[in-house]
Structure 1
Amino acid sequence: MPVVKTPYPPGTPCWVDLTAPDQQAAIDFYRDLFGWQGEIGPEQFGGYAVLTLRDKPVAGIMKAMAMDDNPPPPTVWTTYLATAEADATATKITANGGKLLFPVMEVGTVGRMSVAADPTGAVFGIWQALDFGGAEIVNEHGAVIWNELNSSDLKAATAFYRTALGIEITPTPEMPDYHMLKVGGKDVGGAQGLQNHPAGTPSHWATYFSVDDIDSTVDAAVRAGATILVPAMDTPVGRMGAVADPQGAPFWMITPQQPQQS
């Protein structure tokens, strides 16, 4: 269902956010593209902006800021995986070949989080919900519909996510090169190797947004300064394509295949 009313089970993608050099420009771009509402947040939370559809949270946007002597983080969308206990999950991540990019931290009263890299280098976040559970609208125009792991070593990734986060990665019989992420037997995302990506593409998590008409939405994105990465194409699950936003963050969009009427 588009409106999420129950907590996300541990291991399930529950939130996405964007880190961008120009936070306000990013908010403006996605507001115009997807109809999001929101503004730069309070200083005590680093100005983090929670964007909404119909007054319900769908995604976050924050300003890319350098920490200590490190360069600013890349301009990317990050997928967050739900956890019941962030500290225990962080311990499992490091014990199984992953790396914490920063320690578990409290975000006011809303939750506890960290960002990590799996053993193949794919970056993801973990989120322990307190007052805030994650996206409250999914699977409709302007909201996240799919999260996908693209890995240089799917075998290593399968072992890692199973042990560290309780996610099973299983082959899809009808698509031999594609795998499903499963939590409690339910499909919660996808996974694949990098064989269909340009040479040198690193392991990464990809975010897919649902749109009613991908061709017109891609056109609107390009007029607003986005760059086409993968032209819209028909697939068994819908018509999809990828763009990089005006500041370089890649993301996918899909108009899902409608079920056949009987």
Structure 2
Amino acid sequence: MTGHFAWHELMVPDTEAAADFYGKVAGWGRRDASTPAQPYTLLNAGDRPAAGLLPLTAEARAKGAIPGWVGHVLVEDLDATLAHAQALGAVVHVPPREIEIGRFAVIGDPQGAVLALFAGTLPEPQPIGTPGHVAWNELAAADWPAAFDFYAALLGWQRVEAVDIGAMGTYQTFAPGKAGTAMGGMYTKPGFVPQPFWAFYIFVGDIDAAARRVGESGGQVVNGPMEVPGGGWILQGLDPQGAFFALLGTRA
């Protein structure tokens, strides 16, 4: 289905250290999927690919890139979608590139949050609650209604449920199409958060056990565990290389 987050990738300077950390925290195995042009590691939950891992080069860092996760949204026509995104106020960080399974480009939305657009063949997303897979895609926007209008116009996203989160305002969930199941949410970030960003929540089962694994593996929990509507529990953290990550789980 076009319009959904079909893949997630982590870029860090030390991919071996990252594979070790997320292996301990999320239970991921690893498989080398490098090509002559690009080192690449598949991070697997059981026998299914869950995410990708590639090195953050010195050249990219010199241009301002930092360690972090990027979500890939599936589109039918990359060039047309990219042109539409620019017409709506987005900027292109990485122009279209060919890889073995398709083509992708990386954009910044009009408020600065980064994501990738992909046309090609990617695994179908797993149901929410599948261990080791990204279960939720969340945008901390400068102005969530304006951000939603951008993504609705570009990707056809639909509003699902608006949740009152008190002093933080409204948390708007969204789906990739009409009558679809929510795949994420967005809200207006507090002022102390420096810039808009996307966060991707990996389902890990028991959230307290996962929090312990984060600390034991050299990461840092910066928020949570905290309960969210629907009975789930989340935490947000920094991995040992400074990449922001998020976990979703349960508590007995």
Q: Same fold (TM over 0.5)?
A: yes
Q: Which residue type is aligned with residue 254 of structure 1?
A: L
Q: How many residues align?
A: 246
- Distance in 2 separating the partners of 1:72 and 1:217: 31
For 1:116-148, what per-residue CA distance to the aligned partner results, in whole angstroms no more than 9, with x for missing partners?
Answer: 100000000111123x34556763222111001
Distance in 1 (alpha carbons) for counterparts of 2:82 and 2:130:
32
* Residue among 173, 183, 187 paired with 2:176: 183
Could you tell me how far 1:14 is from its partner in structure 2? Answer: 1.0
Change (3 A) 1:219 1:256: closer
2:63 maps to amino acid: P
Give the aligned partner of residue 14 of structure 2.
22
CA distance in 1, matches of 2:104, 2:93: 11
Alignment partner of 2:192 out of 191, 199, 205:
199
Please tell me whether residue 102 in structure 1 is matched to residue 94 in structure 2. Answer: yes
The equivalent residue for 1:117 is 108
The aligned runs of 1:242-261 (5 Å cut-off) are 242-256=236-250
**In structure 2, what residue type is equivalent to 1:247?**
Q
Q: Could you list the per-position Cα deviations for residues 201-222 of structure 1 after superposition, in whole angstroms to 9, with x for gaps in the alignment?
A: 3100001011111111111111
By how many angstroms is 1:42 displaced? 2.2
Counterpart-to-counterpart distance in 2, 1:68 and 1:56: 29
The one of 122, 129, 146 aligned to 1:156: 146
Query: Out of 221, 225, 240, which is 1:232 matched to?
Result: 225
CA-based RMSD: 2.2
Matched, 1:208 2:208: no
Change (3 A) 1:69 1:167: same
Q: Which residue does 2:84 correspond to in 1?
A: 92
Distance in 2, Cα, partners of 1:57 & 1:24? 17
Q: Within 2, Cα distance between the matches of 1:118 and 1:157?
A: 8
1:146 pairs, out of 136, 139, 149, with 136
**CA apart distance, 1:52:** 1.2
- Equivalents in 1 of 2:185, 2:233: separation in Å? 17
TM-score by length of 2: 0.89
> What do the CA deviations read for 1:90-137 (whole angstroms, capped 9, x no partner)?
1111111001111111112x121111100000000111123x345567
Contact preservation (8 Å) 2:155, 2:176? no
Which ranges in structure 1 are unaligned for 5 or more consecutive residues? 1-8
C-alpha displacement of 1:170: 5.7
Unmatched runs of 5 consecutive residues or more in structure 2: none
3-state DSSP class of the match of 1:217? helix
Q: Does 1:63 align with 2:58?
A: no
SS at match of 2:72: strand
**Structure 1 length normalisation: TM-score?**
0.86
Give percent identity, aligned residues only.
28
Taking the aligned partners of 1:90 and 1:116, their CA distance within structure 2 comes to 8
Q: Which moved further from structure 2: 119-128 or 152-161?
A: 152-161
